[in-house]
Structure 1
């Protein structure tokens, strides 16, 4: 078997776990995966096993943050004209704030 089927602890990853989500849930998961910089498999596995999702800054994460902040700005402009705030937007803003807070802590410690 290939090395791609092994995890960080050299265990075989040969089990498949599947579940259904709504289109809105799928979009939210995709957004969080992009912002994390992890693969979807690693992100979901970490979340399901209650492990921390540590965002490692790289160009892909930077681009995802930039794109999501642009989308948040568009939503805020829509809300300003009388629209309502949806829970998904609040979740994305919360994740972006957590990432930015983590970046601030890294800079404070000189990492």
Structure 2
């Protein structure tokens, strides 16, 4: 089994796995992409109730742009938003917060 050192010099040789639905997996993948972190680092930070601080870089910008395009297409398709679209609303909120944070960095 591969061993990896974390930022504190500890060996990461234990694997943790869990099952999620397709919708949950997509939401997790979207959140990880928008954070700019690896999936492992994102999940560890969230499980430890630590803040996920997004560092603006071209990869995060590209992820935001792609997510906004997907959201735009979905909104065009919808006539009205219902409770079945909670994931979409959560993603929109996260993108808005991220973009506001990135805008604040340049000021």
State the TM-score, normalized to the length of structure 1: 0.87
Q: Distance in 1 between matches of 2:30 and 2:9?
A: 29
Q: Distance in 1 between matches of 2:46 and 2:28?
A: 11
Q: Distance in 1 between matches of 2:72 and 2:102?
A: 21
Tell me, which stretches of 5 or more residues in structure 1 are unaligned?
none
1:43: which partner in 2? 42
State the TM-score, normalized to the length of structure 2: 0.90
The SS at the match of 1:53 is: coil
1:106: which partner in 2? 105
Q: CA RMSD in A?
A: 1.6
1:11 offset after TM fit, Å?
A: 0.8
Q: Deviations over 1:26-84 (max 9, x none)?
A: 000000111111000000000000111011111111110010000111111112xx253
2:71: which partner in 1? 72
